[in-house]
Structure 1
Amino acid sequence: MPVDTAEEIEEILEYETIAVVGCSSTPGKAAHDVPEYLLERGYDVLPVNPYADEIFDREVYDSLDDVEEAIDVVCIFRPSEEVSGIVDAALEREDVEVIWTQQGIRDDEAASRAEDDGRRVVQDRCMKVEHRRLAA
């Protein structure tokens, strides 16, 4: 079952490195403003977007495969129909502890695969909202 208790979400919010798949360079979009908020709160945000070179004065990776740093959490800002492939890429990495799909995004089958592989999954929740609610 995906994570849904405040205690589990608080634990997840203690991780430091978040790869944001679908991170946007456009202020005003949730896929820009949420990772910016996390960056401002001390998280190491790794933008993943094949159509951008730099976001938040940081290098942008084309895919999870291109990220050399260890990743704790993969935060997904892509349509639900793209989640499965992103989860597969995350599962190829041994360092990813958590897969988090933002509000309005979910794929129950991909979530089950991730959980079966020992990863924690948060679906259909905004990291910024949860951080403000539990950690701020």
Structure 2
Amino acid sequence: MELKEIMQQRSFAVVGDTLNEAKTAHEIKEKLLQRGYTVYPVGKELASLNEIPDEIDIIDLCIHPAKGLKLLQENEKDYKCIVLQPGAADETLLAYLKEHQMPYLEGCLLVGMSLYPREET
């Protein structure tokens, strides 16, 4: 899935410190909400992806790769794609994603929101 297609999805799980205004996860969460996306903050607000009560389209990792790997290993929810923010990937995480054929993109949702505003349907 390309960044343009990702930005046309509806629901995002933002994984990271979404409560700290100095963190990228907080900025992504707030900007997604401002643009009308459904956002589920995981890490500081929800402990697990499995706590999300609804379907999710995109998992956005804004955390240390080891923590992201652990959350993905425990995940039981369906999703369309994982976005790895800059600094959220390492060789171990990438190897896990490839081995389990999990769809992912190394990119930035902040860039995606500025380049590809969601089309209303």
TM range (shorter): 0.7 to 0.9
Measure, in 2, the Cα distance between the counterparts of 1:122 and 1:48: 19
Alpha carbons 1:13, 1:131 under 8 Å: kept: yes
Measure, in 2, the Cα distance between the counterparts of 1:17 and 1:115: 24
Match of 1:100 in 2: 83
The verdict on how the C-alpha distance between 1:23 and 1:72 changes in structure 2, with shifts beyond 3 A counting, is farther
Measure, in 1, the Cα distance between the counterparts of 2:43 and 2:72: 15
- Give the letter for the 1:61 counterpart: L
Alpha carbons 1:23, 1:35 under 8 Å: kept: no
Match of 1:46 in 2: 40
Measure, in 1, the Cα distance between the counterparts of 2:98 and 2:11: 20
SS in 2 for 1:19: strand
Structure 1's consecutive aligned runs of 4 or more residues displaced over 4 angstroms after TM superposition are 115-118
Q: Which has the higher contact order (CA 8 A, sep 6+)?
A: 2
TM-score by length of 2: 0.81
Structure 2 counterparts to residues 60-99 of structure 1, below 5 A: 60-90=45-75, 92-93=76-77, 95-99=78-82
Gaps of 5+ in 2: none
The C-alpha deviation readout for 1:48-81, integer Å capped at 9, x for no partner, is 124xxxxxxxxx3221121121111111111122
The verdict on how the C-alpha distance between 1:19 and 1:100 changes in structure 2, with shifts beyond 3 A counting, is same
The verdict on how the C-alpha distance between 1:108 and 1:37 changes in structure 2, with shifts beyond 3 A counting, is same
Number of residue pairs the alignment of both structures matches: 118
Give RMSD over aligned pairs.
Answer: 2.1
The verdict on how the C-alpha distance between 1:81 and 1:62 changes in structure 2, with shifts beyond 3 A counting, is closer
Shift of 1:34: 1.4
- Give the letter for the 2:86 counterpart: Q
Please, which of 30, 34, 39 is the counterpart of residue 28 of structure 2? 34
The verdict on how the C-alpha distance between 1:114 and 1:97 changes in structure 2, with shifts beyond 3 A counting, is farther
Alpha carbons 2:15, 2:41 under 8 Å: kept: yes
